[in-house]
A and B are shown apart, each in its own frame.
Chain A
């Protein structure tokens, strides 16, 4: 029964249209979490002010509460003392959520390869887009934002991702058979 339903939602006009609407809504109104950690935070603020104006990309609604936001811009150095706190905040954000690692520090530790600094925030939370720079210019952040929007465009809500392998019962039996053969020392 399960395998019967699984194959019914292949790409068709209805599902792709629904996905299109969902993705369009999601990517056009990202609500970033106000999460400034270091120098990069100042450039993040600069990108929301009039010269650069992040509102052009629909991501100007900075929320102080993780419960109201769907994009975490990790802007700055994550120290080992801050790491668990950051993880807790990420867990508090509702799905679907994305993460931009802004700047060298949060991406790989940056210049601070020291005892107290986490060498890359991707050791704690999954990162969608990394931004280079120390600190990155606001234009750099916008490029990351556009990349993230491209990524959201590829998301599928109703149709399963083509990369996910779907197992049906015959495949499963076949696999078990192969394992059994492999475990026998001298197959007949």
Chain B
């Protein structure tokens, strides 16, 4: 009894179906032949929502996003849930990748999934009481009383972190020998941040790996319900903290669909240019640290040096280094400074010879090749099944780039190639990323050569803050400016998904507006979350050094996993 949703609330043109909870499992099973990737699974606490015209009654709504590669489109399935019966059938039997998503929904909303193999908290500590993304859970730390860490509490928290193999259905021994359970992280230089992986080892071979995440959960989604639409932009910078303005772009792509703000061509081109520069910056960090993970000490010093050169441009344009917070609803914060083109052109001249040098240093290095070729292999089917996107998907051989397939921000106007791999191993992932830097450079050069004239911000009344010179001319804009800065813009009710090809894969923001100055629900779908979930698949039967190669090649950021 799938009912079509009220079209007025869906602002992104994605087909949206409401399916009752008894039928959703079957419905999703039927859809899988067409929509092969489980893109996202989340929920909304609807209890405080006002504008729900035409939607079925519900206290909570589970939201499934699926993606079809054949049709190149998303589909959204929504299931209404009453507070008295907060449970759903688990879809882990259809998509194994639903495992972590369902755990997250349980952790954040307290929705049960019957048939889930291991429904435990995933982001919050196990000792946590309550479900943070419910509307009645406190948002701020300052609402929760002063923090104290007594010795008993420390012991209790440490005990909660203890790994019990039986809980996961692992044997402690087989035949005559015992398995070793090795704890890697959360403080370990190879995990690139606060990630914990528990390894079940048979000698030195990995039998199973269990990643534990949540040590970096900063509550970025809850923050969206508190900050105004405008003042949430700095928080997006810190989600994939190597991606800088790339995150602004993902958020604003969704927000501008909700607000219906058109973006002037100059602003679009500035956005593309800076986002591609940040793609290079992010890949440079990955390049150096990946080589270091595999035992090469020097490359990180070279790549970080180039990163500093790129940061020189970012600083000249935006004034900040890692978190420029530069894009605004309706455009960018300021126009480009005088002499900007020379900075970019210098970098375009400087960088390709350095890339060639790194090819000699890293990619053609025999030890590097031995450590990465044939390690962490995934097939295209597995990659789609587990929701992999970005370079990790392209390394499997599928030529799929959302900049080309679903162009946003004017990407259809640029010429660039999509590099792909063939084997889906760590080496191919490296090759794809290195080639992507060259393509990004091509895009930047086209931006510099063809930068359109015109305003850097839209004249739409919702553009925040409005162009300053106009506020000096008419009282209407002055009032809008004042309201936009003091309260924030009021976005019409509705929901929209904005997804972009970020540095690490498909980064999507699913925003629900209730017609106020703050978001009702901000869902951040990050690529690293899906990639990390596919880790055990890649390392089973291999050695621990291979695990570090796989982690390095995956190119994840902890804030991108835990948000």
Contacts and interface: CB of A to CB of B under 8 A. Distances in A.
Interface of A: 34-39, 41-43, 45-46, 49-51, 64, 66, 77, 79-85, 87-89, 109, 111-119, 123-124, 134-135, 137
A116 B219 contact: yes
Contact of A46 (B144, B149, B189, B308): B308
A45 B304 contact: yes
Nearest to A53: B301
Interface stretch (B26-34, B235-243, B545-553): B235-243
B154 A87 contact: yes
A109 B304 CA distance: 28
B189 A81 contact: no
A77 B304 contact: no
24 contacts: A35-B187, A38-B241, A41-B193, A45-B300, A49-B304, A51-B305, A79-B214, A79-B217, A81-B215, A82-B194, A83-B157, A84-B153, A84-B157, A84-B158, A89-B187, A111-B234, A113-B142, A114-B139, A115-B132, A115-B140, A116-B218, A123-B149, A124-B149, A135-B321
Chain B residues touching A, range: 35 or more
Given A79-B217, A114-B139, A116-B123, 15 more contacts: A37-B216, A42-B322, A49-B305, A51-B308, A79-B216, A81-B157, A81-B217, A87-B149, A114-B222, A115-B140, A115-B141, A115-B219, A115-B222, A116-B124, A119-B141
A113 B227 CA distance: 11
A101 to B, nearest CB: 15
B559 interface: yes
Interface of B: 123-125, 132, 137-142, 144, 147-149, 153-154, 157-158, 161, 186-189, 192-194, 214-219, 222-223, 234-235, 238, 241-242, 285, 289, 300-301, 304-305, 307-308, 321-323, 558-559
B137 A115 contact: yes
Contact of B124 (A39, A49, A81): A81
Contacts of B289: 45
Nearest to B143: A115
A42 B242 contact: yes
Nearest to B242: A42
Contacts of B158: 84-85, 88
A38 B216 contact: yes
Contacts of A109: 141
A99 to B, nearest CB: 15
Contact of B218 (A49, A117, A134): A117
A135 B406 CA distance: 33
B194 A117 contact: no
Contacts of B124: 81, 116
A88 B322 contact: no
Contact of A80 (B125, B142, B235, B285): B125
Residue of B148, B192, B194, B238 with highest tally of chain A CB at under 10 A: B194
The 7 closest A-B pairs by CB, nearest first: A114-B219, A49-B304, A84-B157, A39-B241, A81-B125, A51-B308, A64-B189
